[in-house]
Structure 1
C-alpha cells in the first residue's frame, strides 16, 4: 500500500511537471497580459495598453491564476497589488519576453510600421527638458509607438529598471547596479531666479543678499539637504527654506510677487530667461553641475526597438532633430 501511494504521488508529480513544461498547451499571449498587468496594476489601463477589452484582460488574468495556481494580483487601494509570487515573476518575465521579442522580431527595427509600447520613468524636470522633443520625434517617425511615462524617486526608478517594470529611466543616478547600463545625456548647471522687481538695477543677488532671503526647495525625496545646501555650507552659510515641494514645474510660479529665491536646474528656467517679470542669474557661490543620464537593463540592450528609442532620446538631449532615414540594425 505504501509502495502504491508513492508510485501514485510520483506519477501525479510527473504528469503535472510535463503539463507545465509543455508549451504547446499554454497560450504565451497570457504572459504579455501578465507583463502589462504588473506594469499598470490596473485592468482598464492594461487593456488600453494592450488594445484589448477589459473583459478580455480580466479573463486572461483568471487563466493566469489557474495556470500558476496563485492570485497574482489582488484588489487594493488605488488598483491591483501584486502577490509575492507576482513579484518573483516580474524580472524573469520581462527578461524572457525581451528575448522572445528579439527572437521573433525582424532582423532590423522598422519604426514606420512598428506597433509597440515603451515604459519610461522620469521626473517632471526630465519630462519638461526632453519629453516634448522625444514625443515629436517618435510621432513623426514611428506613429505606432506608444510611450507610457511614470514618475518615481531615483532609487525606485533604478529598481524598476532592474526588475523589468520599466524600459528606460531618465534622471540623476549614482553608480548603476549590476546589469543596468547608463549613458550621460547632458551636463546640467544651476541658476537662480527671483522676482525682477526685488532686484531692480542689479538683476542678481550677491552672497549676503542670497542668504538673507527665504528660499523654495525642490526635493523629490524626503531629505531636505541637497547639493545646493552642501555648497552653501562650504561658504559658511545656510538657507532659510520657506517652502519644500516635490515638483519642478510649479516652482517658478511661486516666485512671482514674493522675495523668495529659487535655485534649480538651468534648463527648467529657460522659458523665463527673457521674461521681464523675473531675473535669472548664476548662483553667487561655486555650485557644481550634475549629469543627467539614461539607464536601461542588459536584458533589453540588444533589442532593436529599445536601441532605436535610446538613440532618439540621445539625439533629442543633444539638440539634434532625428532623421527619419536613420535605421538601426540589431
Structure 2
C-alpha cells in the first residue's frame, strides 16, 4: 500500500465503520449505503490488505490481529482528514450515529436516564451501546478504538487520552430509620459497631472509604461486598446494615420513606468524575457534540448553562 494512486480512499471510511460496528448491516446504516455495497467494499479491502480483516463469529464480525493494528491509526488519520477538509457540524436531529460508551452502573444511574430523555427528544437517530469494564480496561478500549468515550474515576491517564471533569462527588451514609431509634445520624463508635455493605468491582477494601478509615486507625466489618451500585440501597431496608456510598446514587425519596441519609462520621475525600476519550476524537463533530451534551447534563448548573 505504498502507492496510493490506485486506491479508493472511500474504502477506508467503510473499513472504519465496519471496525466500529462489526456488522455489515449496521455499518451500511451508519454510512447510508446499501448492504451489498458495504459487502463489496469489504471484499475489496480484504484484497487490498491481503487479510480477512473481519471474520464471522457468532452474530457479528470479529477483527483480525491486522485489523486491530489498523483501527487506531485509521481512526486518527480520518479524524485529521476531516479537520483538514473542514468537517460540517453534526446535526443530531437528522444524522444517524452509534456511540459506544463504557461506564459502571454508578455512571449509568447518574447519566443515562437524563441522557436518553434528551436523545429521544433531540437526536432520535442517535443510538448508544454501553459496556461495563474496569478502569484499566476502559482506558485500553479507548486507545484501541473499541469504545468512543468512557466515564468514571481516572486518577492517571496516558498522554494520548483527553479528559474533562464532570463533577466532584462526595459520600453519604444510608441506614434503616427504624434501626437508628429516631436518630438522624451516628457517631464513629456507633458506625464501627454496625455491619457494612461495600460496593466494589473487586470486593476488596482498597477503596476511598476504607482507606480513610485505615488512615484514622479504624476498620469496619463488611458483611456484604457486591459490584452493583443500583442494588445496594435497597438492601439496607429492614436491617442494621450501613451503606456508605457516592451521594448521587442514593434514592431521591429516601428521607421521605423508611431510610435515613446522613454524613459519614469521619472525613472521606471526594472523587472527581470524568469523561475520557482519545485525542484522535478531538475534532470529530459528532463526538464533540456528545461530550458537550454530557457536560451540560452532569456539570454543576452554576458553571454550565442548561440546554435541556
C-alpha deviations, 1:73-95, integer Å up to 9, x for none? 45668965543222211211221
Q: Distance in 1 between matches of 2:272 and 2:9?
A: 49
Deviation larger for 55-64 or 102-111: 55-64
C-alpha deviations, 1:265-292, integer Å up to 9, x for none? 0000042432422111111111111111
TM-score (norm 1): 0.80
Q: Distance in 2 between matches of 1:22 and 1:85?
A: 22
Q: Distance in 2 between matches of 1:274 and 1:76?
A: 50
- Distance change >3 Å, CA 102–CA 202, structure 1 → 2: same
What residue ranges of structure 1 are gaps of 5+ in the alignment? Answer: 1-15, 325-330
Q: Say which SS state the counterpart of residue 243 (structure 2) adopts.
A: strand
Q: Distance in 2 between matches of 1:253 and 1:42?
A: 39
- Distance change >3 Å, CA 185–CA 25, structure 1 → 2: closer
Residue matched to 2:18? 34
User: Displacement of 1:184 after TM fit?
Assistant: 0.8
Structure 1 counterpart of 2:194, from 202, 213, 216: 213
Q: Say which SS state the counterpart of residue 248 (structure 1) adopts.
A: coil
Identify, as 1 or 2, the structure richer in helix: 1
Q: Say which SS state the counterpart of residue 269 (structure 2) adopts.
A: coil
| Alignment check: 8 A CA contact 2:196 2:223 kept | yes
User: Displacement of 1:219 after TM fit?
Assistant: 1.0
- Distance change >3 Å, CA 301–CA 263, structure 1 → 2: same
Q: Distance in 2 between matches of 1:169 and 1:305?
A: 15
| Alignment check: 8 A CA contact 1:43 1:54 kept | yes
Report 1:276-315 matches (<5 A): 276-315=257-296
C-alpha deviations, 1:118-168, integer Å up to 9, x for none? 222211111111222222223322322222222211111122222222222
Report 1:115-264 matches (<5 A): 115-221=96-202, 223-264=204-245
Residue matched to 1:10? none
Deviation larger for 221-230 or 281-290: 221-230
| Alignment check: 8 A CA contact 2:194 2:241 kept | yes
Report 1:56-67 matches (<5 A): 64-67=45-48
Q: Distance in 1 between matches of 2:256 and 2:240?
A: 17
Deviation larger for 130-139 or 241-250: 130-139
C-alpha deviations, 1:43-77, integer Å up to 9, x for none? 77767767888888777655544432234345668
Q: Distance in 1 between matches of 2:219 and 2:58?
A: 41
| Alignment check: 8 A CA contact 2:30 2:96 kept | no
Q: Say which SS state the counterpart of residue 24 (structure 1) adopts.
A: coil
Q: Distance in 2 between matches of 1:78 and 1:253?
A: 36
User: Displacement of 1:111 after TM fit?
Assistant: 2.8
What residue ranges of structure 2 are gaps of 5+ in the alignment? Answer: none
User: Displacement of 1:216 after TM fit?
Assistant: 1.3
Q: Distance in 2 between matches of 1:104 and 1:195?
A: 60
| Alignment check: 8 A CA contact 1:91 1:164 kept | yes
Q: Say which SS state the counterpart of residue 287 (structure 2) adopts.
A: helix
Q: Distance in 1 between matches of 2:252 and 2:281?
A: 35
- Distance change >3 Å, CA 322–CA 51, structure 1 → 2: farther
Q: Distance in 1 between matches of 2:39 and 2:223?
A: 48
What root-mean-square deviation, in Å, do the aligned CA atoms of Structure 1 and Structure 2 show? 3.0
Residue matched to 2:307? 323
The structure having more radius of gyration, on CA atoms, is 1
